[in-house]
Chains A and B, each alone.
Chain A
Amino acid sequence: MSASLPIAMPGCADAPVLRERGQREVFCGLTGIVWLHRKIQDAFFLVVGSRTCAHLLQSAAGVMIFAEPRFGTAIIEERDLAGMADCNEELDRVVDRLLDRRPEIKLLFLVGSCPSEVIKLDLSRAAQRLSVKHASRTAILNYSGSGIETTFTEGEDACLAALVPDLAATEAANLMIVGALPDIVEDQFRRLFAELGIAHVDCLPARRAGAMPAVGPNTRYLLAQPFLGETARALEDRGATRIDALFPFGAEGTTEWLHAAAMAVGIDEMHFRRVVAGPRERAKRALEPMRERLAGKSIFFLPDSQLEVPLARFLATELGMLPVEVGTPYLHRRHLARELALLPAGTVISEGQDVDRQLDRVRAARPDLTVCGLGLANPLEGEGLATKWAIELVFSPIHGFEQAGDLAELFARPLRRRDVLRL
């Protein structure tokens, strides 16, 4: 089915990458907690950090913060900095109290932050120590979501990678989808796989701590998200094999993603075409009106989530948009090789950021649409540039056939709004 994709041009597979260092206007990995805690329903995320970390989560989580969320911050205070032993005791006290108050928690993540990393508070030892203490009830893991180590969605990568060593071992030839997807999208994929004849599909992460998938030498896994480098490595350490595919954005991306999985487990090609034809056509129909709005429009991605490359591919190949520059906080070449090959030749691929220089390039290019964070969106609108704020692309269901139209609509809406306003 990949034959139906635009003929592979040289694209950007071997294009030079503009690597920049300087001020980065990005979130840290702690932000991943905001969607991860919704996905794993009996997990609690305890950040060990400063007031800044708590303030960040509060700002990012918005009104979620009022719904008894399953995350919190153990704020390091002056006296904790005086001596390290004290810090560990304090952490134990906080965890004990937390688990007392929230007995339904089956999985507790101690999440490292910049302050905890800089003072070298050993959270992995703390997690082991506390795991023993609470062994009967709650598993305790740790990962770092600090800004010095992780950018935005890399927090999910670090979290999932921390789950992998504890997954049960299996010899079974199972298929695993890796990456937290909204429940509705996950269910759609499960239905499609069932129709293809793959009755059982595992998801990492599972919705409950007790239901995490098993992994082994016969496991084949399919990345649903492009930011899962560490998790992929951890799965490969357990013997699992990655199925190389485009990411499931748009009609073609989703087709190719499913196709790669179907071929890997030996599904008949004709059967695959029959099963996928309907939803694929539906997705294309949903994209048609969007193509009219978006074709020929230039788009500039500032780095945010690592979703930039596959989204630019989708917008270019399926909607006819013209990517000017595609910025990503981190470029995982191997996982993105097929995506890069499909980007129009001449697209600037940039990794990292010097935000003021990059904004100079935005201003010089005056793209029709700029994808950026909320710290930059209104200022750019203030300069007369249309923007699409990037965080929504992480929080909204955008994967798969049924969401293809919605995904395109996210980019079309800011442009339509500029047309409808008479101001």
Chain B
Amino acid sequence: MQLAVWTYEGPPHVGAMRVATAMEGVHYVLHAPQGDTYADLLFTMIERRAKRPPVTYTTFQARDLGKDTAHLFQTAAREAYARFQPQAMLVGASCTAELIQDDPAGLAEAMRLPCPVIALELPSYQRRESWGASETFYQLVRALADRDARPAPREGRRPRANLLGPTALGFRHRDDVIEVTRLLETMGIDVALVVPLGASPADLAAIGTADFNICLYPETADTACRWLERTFGQKTVRTVPIGHGATMDFVAEVAAAAGLADIPALPHSNLPWWSKSVDSTYLTAKRVFVFGDATHAIAAARVARDELGFEVVGLGCYNREFARDLREAAKLYGVEPLVTDDYLAVEQAIQAAQPELVLGTQMERHIAKRLRIPCAVISSPVHVQDFPARYSPQMGFEGANVLFDTWVHPLVMGLEEHLLTMFRDDFEFSDAHGASHLGHAHLGHAAPTTASVEVPEAEGWTPEAERELLKIPFFVRGKARRNTEAFAAGRGIASITLDTLYEAKAHYAR
């Protein structure tokens, strides 16, 4: 047993729901107890879908246990087919139904429904959400792809590619698809099929007619891509175009896969110039901690170091299926890879690394808030605000613009907060005086500011050195304290004085 308060991923049947909900004409009959329908609200609330997810739950109750549940499943499947008339049906069990040993696959087969029925085996006690999505996608492709479909002869037509992996509840999947489609259009390449997002089983049958595949989200699409390589000989473009450089690499890889002789002029990204402009100089070597799903984390680390000039001080992911890729990436940055789904371990790692910026999920946002470190969200799981109304891709050149703004914004805010804190005791900024533009009303004693000043509790600091430490900006104060203490410990200095503080500063100067 594992004690959990927060989970980065849901159970695997939620992954299957993400695939079913992304598609048109698919219905998922899920053998599950009353209550499991909670998952619907992830789609209707977080993603704000205006339609119910295409999922029928058997919602069995205690009184149904026994042979009744099998009957219940068949009734639910029959009624779901009659009502929704899907082109294809998914059937499977949630964690509880897995224990009661009804066999959705066998039960559905015996019913001989007049549409393809794909049985899902999703081991709930071993696997998680993204694995469930990947497996479901793979099973759908395997069952529905027309194996005789092949691309038309190349002469006289544009190259055609499939975009694989975007799902419901995916972080910025909606806009990434638009952005990548536009980019391919500029290159003279057509998108044959986007799956699962927006595709129907009938569309899926023609998956083999594309010249090659683009694996946008390996977490969902990698397994299916490998099968398509084997079955249809379709090449897979594996570079994930998140960031300016990665997008350039992606373009090159796509051009090669499509057999393009030369690459036409591409829309440019503002990121390179924004990052070179003098306003960005202060970003240099900012210490950044990156955590998320492996794909987004690895991509973010590259952008952070190569395109914004940050120093990557931590890199991790929660999905162990991609732990190998993450570990290899961590080597590039000389950091310990962190593969865990325990948010307390992430919190500990962040605390130890003392970063100046955290890039992570919704959970890291809350950890960073607690530790008072600026933060931006780069990966699922995310809350409703990260399914924005505005166009907001992560991929491609516009995606790079979005990344620049999203990551730099909290830092600028951090600097503002620091300046305000620094000048707090100045006459004009004193809390007791209120805001000058609100007239001259004297507020008297305003509530004490919430920006509490942390007083070092470590022993060995002389009062003088302690006071000096408080003058250091709060977002580097932790690092300064840690460095100074390490410096003192290394030299057997028992009492940290002003001199020790500045000796250490000189020692660690970059």
Q: Which chain A residues have a beta carbon within 8 Å of chain B's beta carbons?
A: 22-31, 48, 50-52, 54-56, 58-60, 63, 65-66, 69, 71-78, 80-81, 87, 90-91, 93-94, 97-98, 114-115, 117-119, 146-149, 151, 356, 373-379, 381-382
Q: A55-B11, A60-B38, A93-B1 are in contact. Are A77 and B125 (CB under 8 A)?
A: yes
In the complex, what residue of chain B is closest to A78 when comparing beta carbons?
Answer: B125
Q: Which of chain A's residues have a CB closer than 8 A to the CB of B125? A: 50, 76-78, 80-81
Q: Which of chain A's residues have a CB closer than 8 A to the CB of B36? A: 28, 52, 56, 147
Q: Which of chain A's residues have a CB closer than 8 A to the CB of B7? A: 51, 54-55, 58
Q: A59-B41, A77-B125, A375-B52 are in contact. Are A28 and B35 (CB under 8 A)?
A: yes
The count of A-to-B residue pairs whose CB atoms sit within 8 angstroms is 175
- B333 to chain A minimum Cβ distance, whole angstroms, is 28
Stretch at the interface among B59-67, B241-249, B306-314: B59-67
Give bound CA distance, A76 to B42, whole Å.
23
Q: Which of chain A's residues have a CB closer than 8 A to the CB of B13? A: 52
Q: Which residue of A72, A78, A376 contacts B5 across the interface (Cβ within 8 Å)?
A: A72
* Apart from the given pairs A148-B34, A381-B50, 19 other A-B contacts in the complex at a CB distance below 8 Å: A22-B79, A28-B38, A51-B95, A52-B36, A54-B5, A56-B35, A59-B42, A72-B4, A75-B4, A78-B125, A94-B3, A115-B96, A118-B65, A119-B99, A147-B61, A147-B96, A375-B37, A375-B52, A379-B52
Sample (25) of A-B pairs whose CB atoms are under 8 Å apart: A23-B76, A24-B37, A28-B38, A51-B4, A51-B10, A52-B10, A52-B11, A52-B14, A52-B94, A55-B11, A56-B36, A71-B5, A73-B4, A73-B5, A74-B2, A76-B125, A90-B1, A114-B95, A115-B96, A118-B96, A118-B100, A151-B35, A375-B41, A378-B48, A379-B44
Q: Which of chain B's residues have a CB closer than 8 A to the CB of A118? A: 65, 96, 99-100
Give bound CA distance, A376 to B60, whole Å.
20
Considering only residues 182-223 of chain B, those with a C-beta below 8 Å from chain A are none
B181 within 8 A of A: no
Q: Check if A50 sits within 8 Å of B62, measured CB to CB.
A: no
Q: Which of chain B's residues have a CB closer than 8 A to the CB of A114? A: 33, 35, 95-96
Give bound CA distance, A146 to B35, whole Å.
8
Q: Check if B37 sits within 8 Å of A146, measured CB to CB.
A: no
B235 within 8 A of A: no
B111 within 8 A of A: no
B49 within 8 A of A: yes
- B46 to chain A minimum Cβ distance, whole angstroms, is 9
Give bound CA distance, A29 to B61, whole Å.
12
Give bound CA distance, A94 to B83, whole Å.
46
The 10 closest A-B pairs by CB, nearest first: A28-B35, A147-B35, A382-B50, A375-B40, A114-B96, A50-B95, A374-B41, A66-B366, A147-B34, A55-B10
Q: Check if B6 sits within 8 Å of A65, measured CB to CB.
A: yes
Give bound CA distance, A52 to B363, whole Å.
18
Q: A27-B35, A56-B35, A378-B49 are in contact. Are A356 and B83 (CB under 8 A)?
A: yes
Give bound CA distance, A168 to B141, whole Å.
63
- B242 to chain A minimum Cβ distance, whole angstroms, is 27
Give bound CA distance, A59 to B42, whole Å.
8
Q: Which of chain B's residues have a CB closer than 8 A to the CB of A58? A: 6-7
Give the bracket for the number of chain B residues in contact with chain A.
Answer: 35 or more
Give bound CA distance, A403 to B363, whole Å.
35
Give bound CA distance, A65 to B39, whole Å.
17
Q: Check if B1 sits within 8 Å of A76, measured CB to CB.
A: yes
Q: Which residue of A63, A72, A151, A379 contacts B3 across the interface (Cβ within 8 Å)?
A: A72
- B435 to chain A minimum Cβ distance, whole angstroms, is 29
Q: Which of chain B's residues have a CB closer than 8 A to the CB of A378? A: 44-45, 48-50
Q: Check if A78 sits within 8 Å of B126, measured CB to CB.
A: yes
Q: Check if A27 sits within 8 Å of B48, measured CB to CB.
A: no
Q: Which of chain B's residues have a CB closer than 8 A to the CB of A55? A: 7, 10-11, 14, 39
Q: A26-B35, A147-B36, A148-B60 are in contact. Are A73 and B3 (CB under 8 A)?
A: yes
Contact with A along B83-110 (1 / 0, CB 8 A): 1000000000011100110000000000
Q: Check if B59 sits within 8 Å of A23, measured CB to CB.
A: yes
Q: Which of chain A's residues have a CB closer than 8 A to the CB of B10? A: 51-52, 55
